[in-house]
């Protein structure tokens, strides 16, 4: 990234066909708050002009905070790469030199993306990722009933379903369940469990 947004990308290369959420923490020079506000909004407006842009948001912890958190999402790795390698973004980052003192970047895809806070709910707590055990519980709550429902449906429609070779049955099941989990079940589950998933752990005595 450029001097205005230098940071470490903590995720490997994203799969080509899944949405990518970019989470950025920036520390802004307090005396240049007004300039930084305008600069950040300009960048989000520029990103909005690129195909695949799904939304963005930025917040501060409180009125006097110099630490800002930004989120934006693209529909896939290719559209994100087009934005990140664009002349418009490079120019924008150069214009922000001196405004941003430090930056840290995280990209989330795949299963972790199921637990990202939606943009309309973006707030100071939005970067928080639920513990792995909570993610496993949420996935199980979605996967188990979906698997049971699918099994009853296919065996009811086709009594010879169990006669299909095991590998082919698993392949067909995966083709149905993977997109259903991603686009229907997990968004529903995470919305219902959001208060529990996002509840911070209790501090140790």
pLDDT tens per residue across span 78-126: 899 999 899 999 998 888 887 876 667 777 665 555 665 544 444 444 4
Q: What is the mean pLDDT of residues 67-85?
A: 87
Q: What is the mean pLDDT of residues 158-171?
A: 85
Residue 50 clears pLDDT 60, i.e. is over it: yes
Residue 10 clears pLDDT 70, i.e. is over it: no
pLDDT band (50, 70, 90) for residue 32? confident
Alpha helices by DSSP H, listed for 29-101, are: 33-47, 77-84, 87-95
Furthest-apart CA pair in the chain: how many Å?
72
| Predicted structure pTM score | 0.49
What sign for the dihedral angle of Cα 189, 195, 198, 201?
negative
Say which DSSP state 100 is in. E
Report the alpha-carbon distance of residue 183 to residue 42 in Å, rounded. Answer: 31
Task: Evaluate whether residue 126 is within a structural domain.
Answer: no
CB-CB neighbours of 105 under 10 Å:
18
pLDDT band (50, 70, 90) for residue 56? confident
Report the domain count for the chain. Answer: 2
Quote the tokens at residue 113.
């993306």
Residue 198 clears pLDDT 60, i.e. is over it: yes
Q: Both 189 and 99 in a single domain?
A: no
Residue 174 clears pLDDT 80, i.e. is over it: yes
CATH of residue 88: 3.30.70.100
Q: Both 27 and 104 in a single domain?
A: yes
pLDDT band (50, 70, 90) for residue 129? low
Task: Evaluate whether residue 161 is within a structural domain.
Answer: yes
pLDDT of residue 119: 40
Q: Both 113 and 136 in a single domain?
A: no
Task: Evaluate whether residue 202 is within a structural domain.
Answer: no
H or E stretch at 133: helix 132-157
Tell me which residue has tokens 């991603």.
182
Domain span at residue 95 reads 3-118
Please state which of the ranges 31-40, 63-72, 107-116, 174-183 shows the lowest mean pLDDT. Answer: 107-116
Q: Which residues of 37-61 are buried (b: 16+ CB within 10 A; e: fewer)?
A: eebbeebbebbeebebbebbbbeee
pLDDT of residue 82: 92
Q: Both 40 and 114 in a single domain?
A: yes
């Amino acid at each position: 990234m450029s001097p205005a947004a230098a940071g470490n990308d903590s995720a490997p290369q994203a799969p080509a066909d899944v949405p990518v959420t970019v989470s950025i923490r920036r520390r802004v020079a307090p005396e240049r708050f007004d300039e930084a506000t305008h600069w950040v909004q300009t960048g989000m407006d520029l990103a909005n002009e690129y195909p695949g842009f799904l939304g963005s948001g930025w917040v501060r912890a409180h009125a006097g905070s110099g630490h800002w958190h930004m989120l934006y999402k693209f529909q896939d790795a290719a559209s994100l790469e087009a934005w990140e390698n664009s002349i418009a973004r490079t120019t924008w980052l150069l214009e922000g030199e001196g405004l941003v003192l430090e930056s840290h970047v995280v990209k989330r895809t795949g299963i972790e993306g199921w637990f990202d806070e939606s943009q309309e709910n973006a707030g100071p707590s939005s970067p928080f990722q639920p513990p792995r055990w909570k993610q496993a519980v949420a996935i199980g709550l979605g996967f188990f009933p979906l698997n049971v429902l699918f099994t009853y449906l296919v065996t009811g429609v086709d009594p010879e379903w169990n006669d299909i070779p095991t590998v082919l049955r698993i392949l067909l099941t995966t083709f149905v369940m993977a997109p259903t989990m991603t686009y229907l079940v997990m968004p529903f589950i995470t919305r219902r469990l959001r208060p529990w998933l996002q509840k911070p752990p209790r501090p140790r005595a």
